[in-house]
Structure 1
Amino acid sequence: MTAPYDPQEREKVVAKLPSDLRRELKVRAAELTTDIQDAVTDGVTAWLTLDEHATVDTSGGTSFATYLPAGLYKQLKQASKTRKVSYNQGVAQAIRHWLATHPSPRPAPPRTTGARRIVFGNQKGGVGKTSVSAGVAQALAETGKRTLLVDFDPQGHLTKQLGYEQHAIKAPSLAKAMLGENEKPLHDLLVPIKGGDFEDRLWLLPSCRDAFLLDAKLATTRAVRVKETALERVLDDVEQDFDYILIDCPPSLGYAMDTALYYGRTREGEQPGLSGVVVPVQAEDTSGDAFDMLTEQLDDLTDDLKVDITILGFVVNLYDARNGFIATSSLAEWEGMDEPVFGIVPELKEQREAVRMKTPLLAYSPDCEQANVMRSIARRING
């Protein structure tokens, strides 16, 4: 039977939906590893065949956008008119029907090794570690995962881009806690990241102004294994409160980076591939050179400490095919690596605008192409 629309040709559709329905859709789609546009397409297709249509409370609705096949979109508008319901009500009923017919899978078994730990690292600066780690954290939190985003870069770009202040030099901080100089519980240093469908499930551990001293102080520490375990010992206090802890690392190969890589290792009793390193890169040669240095550091660390640290995959950031052969051939090389490419983030204005506005991307422009790539990366990580 031929479909009455072409699934390859889609057009953007916008409706106003209540936040709880939008959030439930995003969580369920993530649980079932389904694109939101495919879930809505299935829901609308089924809704058109239903005889009974339970009313959905759409009061307080805010903008929700997705892409539907052009022919299906036309049918949805016509059916809503025929059934004497608003277009927003038709979309809401279709989504509610999809949710009812696609139940949540069984809950995952209880964790035995704390939160899943994802380290975003690359020795080269400017590749987008901050924007990628922040976007993926927001996307994970959208799906209902309790997520902590750690600004581990002394420059504090992540903290500033999200509209927060770095901890002052004399104030309690992550760095001081790692050096045993903190009297304040780590919980007290966390701040909630507001906005979007991730609110109430996303937290930030801000950077501190004196974190650049961390490498030097760790280098002079004489205690055995303190250099590698310093970050883990501190974050252990909050691990059970989160499903994911994401580390935005500095562009460095020093002792601080060692602590982050060690933190992302596969722990005893943990299934391989749940925690590890995600490497943001760009489609150009210097990212490859930096990755070579990172792998050398990983090899040294795993050999010295007899641990397993997995490179989970790459994210090719700020990609623009208009750069021609340099970009396309470099992308082909990344896609030919043993580790997968989790996503290709296009060079678009929305991320820069969000940074300028000091607002999370998925709150500033939740339906832009970059935001949807972040959600795709989060699905790959979440498995």
Structure 2
Amino acid sequence: MLPRMASPTSGGEREKLVSKLPASLRQALKVRAAQLSTDLQDAVADGIQAWRSHPEPLPALDTAGAESFGTWLPEGLYDAFKLDCADRGVSYIQGLAQAVALWLEQNPAGDEPTLTRRMIVCNQKGGVGKTAVAAGLAQALAEDPHALSGRTSDSSALVPAVARLGLRVLLVDYDPQGHLSHQLGLKAIPAGAESLITHMINREQARTPLLDLTVVIDEERFGDRLRILPAAFDAFLLDSGLTMFRGPRHAALERALAPLEEHFDAIVIDSPPSLGLAMDAAIFYGRRRDGERPGSSGLVIPVEAEDTSAQAYGMLINQVASLTSDYDIEVEQLGLVVNKYDSRRGYIATSSLDKWKSIGTPPVLAVIGDLKEQREAVRVQRALLAYAPDSDQAHHMREIARRLT
């Protein structure tokens, strides 16, 4: 029996519940409770009560990677909840996840302002699979949920609706090397032609709307929801162009992409492997805007399980800290993706993975092995989720998207 103690926000006797909850549910719970002006502890208690009285068994949820979660319950509710978990043959973690998901389903947020989500996939160290993660995340967000294979869990049944919808997604190849464009069978925009760079630093000279420069990724499972803005050769000169730009350099990318936002639910940016002015503009674009719910926009950081990747991560975080201080903004690290992981590489790989996981915030969104399907998809210049939709790598991309929605 847990010791009874007074809740810090209630005059009634309550008991402390300490369990685990998947990060995506914990974030959704926090946001929804704030939207409805409901105490978090009351939301969890109501969810548990609804779960206990639910007439039908609820689908099992994916609780892999669940992290510590604590709240306060009315006296006696935790003991009753544990007995019900035993009767239903589910763990306390599974029962709590189902209860929270049920509360989210029964307590919709109603009308709220919709802002295009901006996910900046970045790491100044090359070779960490940044392009593969950016492409895979965008594909997973845009994918038709009805196209998912039988391997996909039924746990989405109680996840907030946005996680189950094929979103309108723009994938931006912001890296002058143009690997993303090439991997999807597109050529970079030649030097001197209108491109994203024109709209960033010479918008007055642009004659073609930026939306007209985007290209649909023509795969059935994405419908017409996934588009890409190809790379531009002029991007190699972007940093020097920004040094002479008369406007606010840090806002140049936002100025260019703002007219496109009404056409997309999410914009995913494959950033250059640098810490220059172009990266400053990308980080600023991913900041949390006024009225935007936590966890909507920010940085997704691919890393590897080795020491130099940790050093590069430290440099990126220092750059973020400088920008947030200089411009008084909030930039969220949405999560890390440990990419190309191979435990056969021994102690350095396994211990580095442990260190990434021990950070806690930002969380590790997925650990992706060094598998063949991504390389094969690049060879045939197709989207991974269309080329190998049932591969482990494809399912990991869906896992990342699910944790970010």
Q: TM-score, normalised by structure 2?
A: 0.67
The answer to whether residue 238 in structure 2 is matched with residue 214 in structure 1 is yes
Selected match of 2:323 from 286, 301, 304: 301
Selected match of 1:203 from 199, 211, 227: 227
The answer to whether residue 291 in structure 2 is matched with residue 269 in structure 1 is yes
Any conservation in 2 of the 1:150–1:206 contact (CA below 8 Å)? yes
Q: State the match for 2:137 in structure 1.
A: 136
Q: CA distance change for structure 1 residues 129 and 111 in 2, over 3 Å: closer, same or farther? A: farther
Return the letter of the residue paired with 1:279.
Answer: I
* CA-atom RMSD in angstroms: 1.8
Distance 1:298 1:209 in 2: 26
Q: State the match for 1:114 in structure 2.
A: 115
Q: CA distance change for structure 1 residues 215 and 113 in 2, over 3 Å: closer, same or farther? A: farther
Q: State the match for 1:335 in structure 2.
A: 357
Alpha-carbon offset, residue 114 of structure 1: 2.6
The CA deviation string for residues 131-190 of structure 1, in whole angstroms up to 9 with x for no partner, is 001001100101411111000000000000011111111211001110124221011011
Distance 2:186 2:352 in 1: 35
Return the letter of the residue paired with 2:226.
Answer: L
Any conservation in 2 of the 1:196–1:362 contact (CA below 8 Å)? no
Q: State the match for 2:19 in structure 1.
A: none
Alpha-carbon offset, residue 199 of structure 1: 2.7
Alpha-carbon offset, residue 33 of structure 1: 10
Any conservation in 2 of the 1:113–1:267 contact (CA below 8 Å)? no
Secondary structure at the counterpart of residue 404 of structure 2: helix
Alpha-carbon offset, residue 289 of structure 1: 0.5
Distance 2:220 2:286 in 1: 28
The answer to whether residue 384 in structure 2 is matched with residue 361 in structure 1 is yes
The answer to whether residue 274 in structure 2 is matched with residue 252 in structure 1 is yes
Secondary structure at the counterpart of residue 271 of structure 1: coil
Q: List gaps (5 residues or longer) in structure 1.
A: 1-31, 36-103
Q: State the match for 2:257 in structure 1.
A: 235
Q: List gaps (5 residues or longer) in structure 2.
A: 1-58, 63-104, 144-164
Alpha-carbon offset, residue 222 of structure 1: 3.2
Q: State the match for 1:7 in structure 2.
A: none
Alpha-carbon offset, residue 240 of structure 1: 1.3
Q: State the match for 1:318 in structure 2.
A: 340
Distance 1:137 1:105 in 2: 29
Any conservation in 1 of the 2:115–2:292 contact (CA below 8 Å)? no
Q: State the match for 1:351 in structure 2.
A: 374
Secondary structure at the counterpart of residue 232 of structure 2: coil
Q: CA distance change for structure 1 residues 111 and 189 in 2, over 3 Å: closer, same or farther? A: farther
Return the letter of the residue paired with 1:124.
Answer: K
Return the letter of the residue paired with 2:367.
Answer: I
Secondary structure at the counterpart of residue 355 of structure 1: helix
Q: State the match for 2:302 in structure 1.
A: 280
The CA deviation string for residues 291-325 of structure 1, in whole angstroms up to 9 with x for no partner, is 11001100000000000001111000001111111
Secondary structure at the counterpart of residue 125 of structure 2: coil
The answer to whether residue 316 in structure 2 is matched with residue 289 in structure 1 is no
The CA deviation string for residues 259-317 of structure 1, in whole angstroms up to 9 with x for no partner, is 10000000011112211001000011111010110011000000000000011110000
Secondary structure at the counterpart of residue 283 of structure 1: coil
Distance 1:174 1:34 in 2: 41
Secondary structure at the counterpart of residue 301 of structure 2: strand
Q: State the match for 1:127 in structure 2.
A: 128
Q: TM-score, normalised by structure 1?
A: 0.71
Return the letter of the residue paired with 1:135.
Answer: G
Q: CA distance change for structure 1 residues 252 and 334 in 2, over 3 Å: closer, same or farther? A: same
Alpha-carbon offset, residue 227 of structure 1: 0.6
Return the letter of the residue paired with 1:131.
Answer: A
Return the letter of the residue paired with 1:252.
Answer: S
Alpha-carbon offset, residue 112 of structure 1: 3.0
Distance 2:182 2:111 in 1: 35
Return the letter of the residue paired with 1:168.
Answer: P
Q: How many residues were matched structurally?
A: 281
Structure 1's consecutive aligned runs of 4 or more residues displaced over 2 angstroms after TM superposition are 32-35, 104-114
Secondary structure at the counterpart of residue 299 of structure 2: strand
State the identity as a percent.
53
Q: State the match for 2:24 in structure 1.
A: none
The answer to whether residue 400 in structure 2 is matched with residue 377 in structure 1 is yes
Distance 2:167 2:284 in 1: 23
